[in-house]
Amino acid sequence: MNILAFESSCDETAAAVVTDGRIIRSNVIASSVETHALYGGVVPELASRAHVEAIVPVATQALAQAGMTLNDIDAIAATYAPGLIGAVLVGVNFAKSAALASGGKPLVPVHHVRGHIAALYLTHPDLKPPFLCLCVSGGTTAIVHVQDYTRMVVLGATRDDAVGECFDKVARVLGLPYPGGKYMDDLARQGRDTAYPLPGTHVHGAPMDLSFSGLKTAVINLIHNAQQKGETLSLPDLAASFSKTVSDALIPRVLHAAAETGCRHLAVAGGVAANSRIRADLETACGAAGLRLFLPALELCGDNAAMIAAQGYYEYQAGHVASSSLNAYATRDLEAG
């Protein structure tokens, strides 16, 4: 079954063709990140306009690279939530038009975070639910029990900032380009992770939840205090200390979730799944705990449409098909799909 999928929830306009939820035929991404970098963050209206401009060429390229036409496509999927509403609307409406124009092919709505989880199916042909997934991106931080392809339970989540957002905000104060997560990761590799002790992310009485706002504020205060005193902080040391604190916050919570659920398979998904410190620490922790770890391919960690097509396949199998009145949503419960 060939699925043509669209992703437009933030600043990437993407289209892809995937066969049977597992085999990538094409995966095309146009990013407007350079435009947003000028402003230090995504400007929603500019993102929507960039999607409108990019969606036709990206869709055309995805079909051409797959060596297919719309006639070869069995269903059309699109991210319908969560995301910047004007941005999500572009992908949803384009998918609706493509479904109508192709004689009423099935239209499959896909939750963006479920898509991130499905990126793992594209990397690991043998991965099947049940497993635990640490979902870490610019908009999400959650520990998800993937009980089946379309049945998921959120065991823990951030109470405030998402981890990627926290990386980006700290990076901005350090004067790094947007989005800063990758730059923080590169700097951290050259620094001492014990140089600056930072507060944890504990939420009282909720062992699988996290709070990143205090950590973010602590780093920002540290920088401002140093500036006021005319002191120079070591950016690599600060990036390394921050990355260690984040990793030390995430890993015990997923291990706790593994113990609670009895899951022996653990995965990580989303843009922050590219972080080298988190990947290395997870490898070590899973090795010690006897858990099997599934990491997504680096090129599938960030937003892309192949992951939407992969999840779209399983949503379609479960009968989750939308009518042409499908709407886009800025927020949507992952469990509800």
- Is residue 275 part of the contact set for ligand KG4 (CB under 6 A)? yes
The yes or no reply on residue 6 touching ligand KG4 (CB under 6 A) is: no
In contact, 18 and 31? CB cutoff 8 Å: no
> Does residue 272 bind ligand KG4 (CB under 6 A)?
yes
Residue selected from 302, 308, 310, 316 as contacting ligand KG4 according to rule CB under 6 A: 302
115 binds ligand KG4 (CB under 6 A): no
193 lies in the binding site for ligand KG4 (CB under 6 A): no
As measured in angstroms, the least distance from the Cβ of 83 to ligand KG4 is: 8
How many separate helices (H) and strands (E) can be counted in the chain? Answer: 10, 10
- Quick check: 271 binds ligand KG4 (CB under 6 A)? yes
136 in Cβ contact with 165 (< 8 Å): no
Q: How far is the CB of 131 from ligand KG4 (least distance, A)?
A: 19
Q: Pick the closest to residue 270 from 120, 85, 62, 109 (CA basis).
A: 120
Min separation Cβ 278 and ligand KG4, Å: 7
Which position among 96, 145, 169, 182 is part of the footprint of ligand KG4 (CB under 6 A)? 182
State yes or no: residue 91 binds ligand KG4 (CB under 6 A): no
Q: Residue from 91, 109, 138, 337 that binds ligand KG4 (CB under 6 A)? A: 138
**Axis crossing angle, helix 276-289 with helix 181-188, rounded to the nearest 10:** 70
Contacts of 235 (CB under 8 A, 6+ apart): 174, 187, 191
Burial class (CB in 10 A: 0-12, 13-18, 19+), 44: middle
Q: Which is nearer to ligand KG4, 32 or 275 (CB)?
A: 275
Cα–Cα distances in angstroms (integers) from residue 43 to residues 20, 85, 203, 305, in the given order: 35, 12, 31, 21
Shortest CB 167 distance to ligand KG4, Å: 4
Sign of CA dihedral 234, 236, 237, 242: positive
The nearer residue to ligand KG4, 93 or 140, going by C-beta atoms, is 140
Considering only 60-68, 89-97, 162-170, 229-237, which stretch makes contact with ligand KG4 by CB under 6 A? Answer: 162-170
Residue 38 or 103: the one with the smaller Cβ distance to ligand KG4 is 38
| Closest CB 243 distance from ligand KG4, rounded Å | 8
Q: How far apart are the C-alpha atoms of 334 and 337, rounded to whole Å?
A: 5
Q: Among all residues, whose Cβ is closest to ligand KG4? A: 271
> Can you tell me the distance from the alpha carbon of 311 to that of 117, in angstroms, rounded to the nearest whole number?
8
- In this structure, are residues 119 and 295 in contact, taking their beta carbons and an 8 Å threshold? no
Residues engaged in binding ligand KG4 (CB under 6 A)? 10, 137-139, 164, 167-168, 179-182, 185, 270-272, 274-275, 302-303
